[in-house]
Amino acid sequence: MKKNISIVLSATMFLSGLGYSSVFADDVTLEIEPELNPSAIKLVESTGAVNKDQEPDYTKPIAIEKFNDIEAKLKQDFKKDVSIQNIISGTDTVTSGRLNKAVDLAVYRITDKEYAESKAVLTSDKLVTDSRFKISNEDGSYTIPLKDVDLKPGDHLVTCISYRFKYDNTEKIETKTYLVNTEFVSVNSIKAKVGEKVNAKDAIVGLPKDANLENISIADTSTEGNKEAKIRVTYQGLSRDFVIPVIVSDSTSAIVDPNSKRISGINRYETNLESIKHSFKMGLTKTVIVASGENFADPLSAGPLAMKKNAPIVFSTKTGLKPEAVKLIKDLGAKEVIIVGGTNSVPELVKNQLARLNVRRIAGANRYLTSKMLLNEFGPSKHIIFADGRDFADALSATPLAKKLNAPILLVDKEDKVPKVLAYHDAYIVGGAHSVSPAIEANIKSKMPGKNLYRTFGKNRAQTSAIVAEIVKYDVHILANGRVFADALSSVNLLNDGGKTLLLVDKNAMSHQVKNTINGKLNYIIGGTNAITKDLLGY
């Protein structure tokens, strides 16, 4: 039986501190259990579908038909209205619709030749769904997972519908099989200047010529910000609405290339500088934080402080700042520089390189003591976040939550890394028991009697980042390589102005959950093609 992983979400997360003061600009509804543990992740049946015991062997060509040509036949046989999904988007993770109980269903990719000849032979290597399914819901509704396959806009698919039909007043039983023409498209975001008219229809790539597009809502470009338009696509008798992200900025925006959705340089230091140019305006930045570009712990701990101070994090090498970094700090208009980390990470030479500025250092004997010192530097907060200090993934995934809550992140690895006094309204652990142990959790609870403690995590680092993204509920996403921290750390600079999530992916692949999260949204990539290939999003 086909199983899906489902996170059980609970509305018992009492964040009375959210919206408590002016620092929380927008309300948040967090829907996770107070403590997510393995029992909170349960296996559930794929909605309305179960695996067929044996996949039929279609060795002969089957005619490909339009949905509006067979709709009447299906309605007559099933005695109900029917629908399928005959347009599939690049970030869809499932295909859904309503037919009839006991109908076999699958989606296949076909060749251009088969499409031109309007007939196809179905083989298992062409499957786009995980397998063939038999609909089990009484009302005929279904939701079937799609496989991670390499599809491009304009690729042709077919939805195979097969069922046994018994004619009235007779013993005759016939197996009916239909191949329904199905198209694959990609949905892109649009960049626009203030006041510029946008044609959101151009954002959907790969639609056939006979598809009809209708504007349902038009993006308001009169002011800066993340806007959206809505397009209804009608194709062969079926309609589907697409949300088109539209990001509007004026001519003074810090974005270097308004059309670029990949922020990268030839190495981690250039990527770091590009992330700053993308997010900060020259001459208007008072504070800059300098941290090591070779060790992940200090920049991660410094992330919440940087976001609170609206300060970029500039990477230093072991021998000092690169000339381009020194120039950028001056161009930003910085008056204050905070070095995070000891002289083994950021050498004393950096103070000389920035001699005309007010430079000070925050450093402990190790990453955990430095993290505690940054906790004090951050100052009072209603909330605190704990993450594993031995690996970068969970702490990086926690950064959007830190921005949303205006909360510091404390790196831990053992019980004694927890401060003696925790004067916070509530606490959050990002990461599973292998990252932040139950012993640390118990220690935190003992120092926060009567306060709420929440834990959120996924089965891997990518899923953890996607769960945090679901919590903060933003529509702009940054994709970073979850295996290599070099470029990923610069994503903190992109998160600085809020309204963005961070999603961890592999070089050549992303999880279904991440795909579902970014569907129809504005998505950026941090890092070059050696970190994340162009095949992932097409840029």
**CATH for 145:** 2.60.40.10
Q: Do residues 37 and 62 share a domain? A: no
Q: Do residues 61 and 86 share a domain? A: yes
Q: Do residues 238 and 344 share a domain? A: no
More confident position, 487 or 410: 410
* 468-499 pLDDT, tens digit each: 999 988 889 999 998 888 788 899 999 987 78
Residue 106 has pLDDT above 90, yes or no: yes
Q: Please name the residue that has the structure tokens 């903190």.
A: 492
Burial 149-160 (b: 16+ CB within 10 A, else e): eebebebbbbbb
Q: Do residues 7 and 142 share a domain? A: no
| CB contact at 8 A, 14 and 30 | no
Question: How far apart are alpha carbons 81 and 122 in whole angstroms?
Answer: 27
Residue 539 domain flag: no
| Bridge partners (DSSP) listed for residue 89 | 185
Residue 88 domain flag: yes
Q: Do residues 474 and 485 share a domain? A: yes
Q: Do residues 207 and 290 share a domain? A: no
Find the Cα–Cα–Cα–Cα dihedral 258, 259, 261, 263, rounded to 10°: -60
Question: How far apart are alpha carbons 479 and 524 in whole angstroms?
Answer: 6
Residue 535 domain flag: no
Residue 5 has pLDDT above 70, yes or no: no
| CB contact at 8 A, 161 and 84 | yes
The DSSP result for 72-103, as a single string, is HHHHHHHTS--B---EEETT--EEEEE--TT-
Q: Do residues 351 and 480 share a domain? A: yes
| Bridge partners (DSSP) listed for residue 479 | 503, 525
| CB contact at 8 A, 462 and 505 | yes
| CB contact at 8 A, 105 and 133 | yes
Q: Do residues 53 and 199 share a domain? A: no
| CB contact at 8 A, 470 and 501 | no
pLDDT reported for residue 32: 34
Q: Do residues 24 and 111 share a domain? A: no
pLDDT reported for residue 250: 67
pLDDT range class, residue 148, cuts 50, 70, 90: low
pLDDT range class, residue 167, cuts 50, 70, 90: confident
Average pLDDT over residues 160-179: 90
Q: Please name the residue that has the structure tokens 């990518």.
A: 462
Q: Do residues 283 and 361 share a domain? A: yes
Residue 532 domain flag: no
Q: Which are the contacts of 71, defined by CB distance < 8 A and separation ≥ 6?
A: 82, 237
Average pLDDT over residues 218-234: 87
Residue 48 has pLDDT above 50, yes or no: no
pLDDT range class, residue 93, cuts 50, 70, 90: low
Average pLDDT over residues 76-105: 89
Residue 296 has pLDDT above 90, yes or no: no
Question: How far apart are alpha carbons 315 and 290 in whole angstroms?
Answer: 6
Question: In the predicted model, what is the mean pLDDT of the chain?
Answer: 83
H-run or E-run covering 337 = strand 336-340
Per the structure, the count of domains in the chain is 3
Residue 380 domain flag: yes
The range of the structural domain enclosing residue 496 comes to 3-43+254-526
* 330-389 pLDDT, tens digit each: 999 999 999 999 999 999 999 999 999 999 999 999 999 999 999 999 999 999 999 999
pLDDT range class, residue 58, cuts 50, 70, 90: low
Q: Do residues 245 and 267 share a domain? A: no
Question: How far apart are alpha carbons 505 and 487 in whole angstroms?
Answer: 13
pTM for the predicted model, two decimal places: 0.56
Domain termination residue (choose one: 156, 185, 214): 185
The DSSP result for 137-158, as a single string, is -TT-EEEEEBP-----TT-EEE
Residue 533 domain flag: no
Domain termination residue (choose one: 138, 161, 185): 185
For the ranges 7-11, 395-399, 406-410, 423-427, which has the lowest average pLDDT?
7-11
Q: Do residues 211 and 320 share a domain? A: no
Residue 536 domain flag: no
Domain termination residue (choose one: 185, 220, 240): 185
As to burial, measured by CB atoms within 10 angstroms (0-12 exposed, 13-18 middle, 19+ buried), residue 79 is: exposed
pLDDT reported for residue 256: 41
